[in-house]
């Protein structure tokens, strides 16, 4: 995990651990918004109007944050309007690369670069910081609109509605309070909680993170025994943000990140809920477990120095979920 220092690639990782051994996720840099008419969004500058074919997504199929953006691109019918390049799952001394010798890795289909870092230096030749996916690239202004997945999915949720005619709203006004509250806890203790557990370098830091993680999974299990989705009877952004962590849970986080009090498949409501979301039209196509199985085990030398890829487990995400009979009143797909 290297980083850029004034445009130069450094192989050393940017220090991401506190003295107490806690993993700290750094702030994202590009925070502009695509909006229907190019007016500025909540952060950054304006001048990024929604247009078909203008924007391009750089993702890894391994990354749960990038995966959110792929899910929204698919749910909102944006495939014909926003192109995608997929990096190779191995993230080693050169960071993410466009090697395409792994099924599903596409290379850089837009600019033909070799390394993802070159997309950052194309936007700013003197840039410093981490080289992360996802990136939303503007082909018109030749720069990065945003590299913050939480904001990219909000743009995809509504900015292109005039172009696609798709008016599904996964962040409806009336549910924003509850969505924001759920998102906050899920982000801190689940989405990021698995990383805090797996990258902890002290027993105390691991104990704290893994305890918070399973407290939240117990809370979600209870909530989902009473309602079909996290914000009530309608699927929202909060559900899609949780799903990408659940998809990786038993295959990667349970073993590799030591999140092993129990597996996802041992939590009946959460497991059935996760299967329902996975089976939602357009979602399974965005899920490439080979990429995350390979990426985590092969790339995190500090966690798995011999890069041995484990044999399993084999999980059947296509089993019937039964959520429609359990909650017949909720709106389903
Ligand atoms: N805040 C970012 C985080 C993205 C992120 O951490 N991506 C990871 C992959 S899962 C990455 O590219 N890491 C490379 C690095 O940190 O050097 C987002 O949600 O968009």
- Check if 206 is active-site: no
In this structure, the residue with its CA closest to atom 10 of ligand 1 is 63
Catalytic residue among 55, 61, 63, 229, which?
Answer: 63
Contact 58, 87 (CB under 8 A): yes
Record: fold of 173-326? Glutathione S-transferase Yfyf (Class Pi); Chain A, domain 2 (1.20.1050)
DSSP secondary structure of 108-158: -TTT--SBTHHHHHHH-TT--B---S-EEEETTTTEEEE--HHHHHHHHHH
Q: Ligand 1 centroid vs 133 CA: distance in angstroms?
A: 5
Ligand 1 atom closest to 133 (CA): 12
Q: Provide the whole-model pTM.
A: 0.96
Nearest ligand 1 atom to alpha carbon 13: 17
Q: Can you give the pLDDT at residue 25?
A: 62
Q: What is the pLDDT of residue 333?
A: 47
Distance between Cα 59 and ligand 1 center (Å): 10
**Mutate-to-test residue for ligand 1 from 26, 132, 247, 292, highest number of ligand atoms within 8 A of CB:** 132
Q: Residues 327, 332, 333, CA angle at the centre, nearest 5°? A: 155
Enumerate residues lining ligand 1, CB below 6 A: 1, 28, 63, 65, 95, 130-134, 147-150
- Nearest ligand 1 atom to the CA of 147 is 20
User: What pLDDT score was predicted for residue 214?
Assistant: 98
Cis before 134 (ω within 30): yes
CA triple 228-321-227, angle to 5 deg = 10
Q: Where are the alpha helices (DSSP H) in the chain?
A: 64-75, 117-123, 149-158, 161-164, 176-186, 193-199, 203-226, 237-248, 268-278, 289-299, 323-326
pLDDT value for 16: 62
**Annotation marks residue 63 as catalytic:** yes
Per-residue pLDDT of the chain (333 residues; tens, 9 = 90+): 799 999 999 998 766 656 677 777 666 689 999 999 999 999 999 999 999 999 999 999 999 999 999 999 999 999 999 999 999 999 999 999 999 999 999 999 999 999 999 999 999 999 999 999 999 999 999 999 999 999 999 999 999 999 999 999 999 999 999 999 999 999 999 999 999 999 999 999 999 999 999 999 999 999 999 999 999 999 999 999 999 999 999 999 999 999 999 999 999 999 999 999 999 999 999 999 999 999 999 999 899 999 999 998 999 999 999 999 999 887 654
User: Which tokens sit at 263?
Assistant: 């597996």
Contact between 143 and 54 under an 8 Å Cβ cutoff? The reply is: no
ipTM score here? 0.99
Element housing 86 (H / E): strand 82-86
Contacts with 83 (C-beta within 8 Å, 6 or more apart), sequence order: 53, 55, 56, 57, 109, 110
DSSP conformational letter for 251:
I
Using DSSP's 3-state secondary structure scheme, residue 162 falls into helix
Atom of ligand 1 at shortest range from CA of 95: 17
Rg over CA atoms, the chain: 19
- Residue 65 C-alpha to ligand 1 middle, in angstroms? 7
Q: Whose CA is nearest to atom 1 of ligand 1?
A: 148
Domain ranges of the chain: 3-164, 173-326
Domain 3-164 indexed as CATH 3.50.50.60 = no
């Amino acid at each position: 995990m290297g980083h850029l220092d004034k445009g130069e690639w450094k192989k050393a990782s940017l220090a991401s651990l506190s003295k107490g051994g806690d993993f700290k996720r750094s702030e994202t840099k590009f925070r502009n918004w695509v909006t229907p008419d190019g007016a500025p969004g909540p952060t950054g500058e304006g001048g990024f109007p929604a247009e078909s074919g203008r924007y391009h997504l750089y993702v890894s199929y391994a990354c749960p944050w990038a995966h959110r953006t792929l899910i929204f691109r698919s749910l909102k019918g944006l495939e014909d309007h926003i192109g995608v390049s997929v990096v190779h799952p191995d993230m080693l001394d050169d960071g993410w690369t466009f090697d395409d010798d792994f099924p599903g890795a596409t290379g850089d289909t837009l600019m033909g670069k070799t390394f993802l870092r070159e997309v950052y230096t194309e936007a700013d030749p003197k840039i410093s910081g981490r080289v992360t996916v996802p990136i939303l690239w503007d082909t018109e202004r030749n720069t990065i609109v945003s590299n913050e997945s939480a904001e990219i999915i909000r743009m995809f949720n509504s900015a292109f509605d005039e172009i696609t005619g798709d008016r599904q709203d996964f962040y409806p006004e009336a549910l924003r309070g509850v969505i924001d509250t759920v998102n906050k806890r899920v982000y801190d203790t689940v989405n990021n909680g698995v990383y805090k557990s797996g990258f902890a370098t002290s027993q105390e830091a691991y104990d704290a993170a893994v305890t918070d993680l399973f407290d939240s999974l117990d809370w979600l299990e209870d909530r989902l025994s009473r309602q079909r989705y996290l914000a009530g009877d309608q699927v929202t952004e909060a559900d899609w943000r949780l799903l990408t962590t659940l998809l990786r849970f038993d295959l990667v986080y349970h073993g590799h990140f030591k999140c092993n009090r129990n597996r996802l498949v041992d939590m009946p409501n959460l497991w059935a809920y996760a299967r329902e979301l996975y089976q939602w039209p357009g979602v399974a196509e965005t899920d490439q477990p080979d990429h995350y199985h390979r990426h985590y085990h092969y790339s995190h030398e500090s966690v798995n120095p011999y890069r041995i890829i484990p044999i399993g487990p084999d999980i059947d995400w296509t089993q019937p979920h039964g959520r429609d009979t359990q909650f017949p009143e909720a709106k389903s797909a």
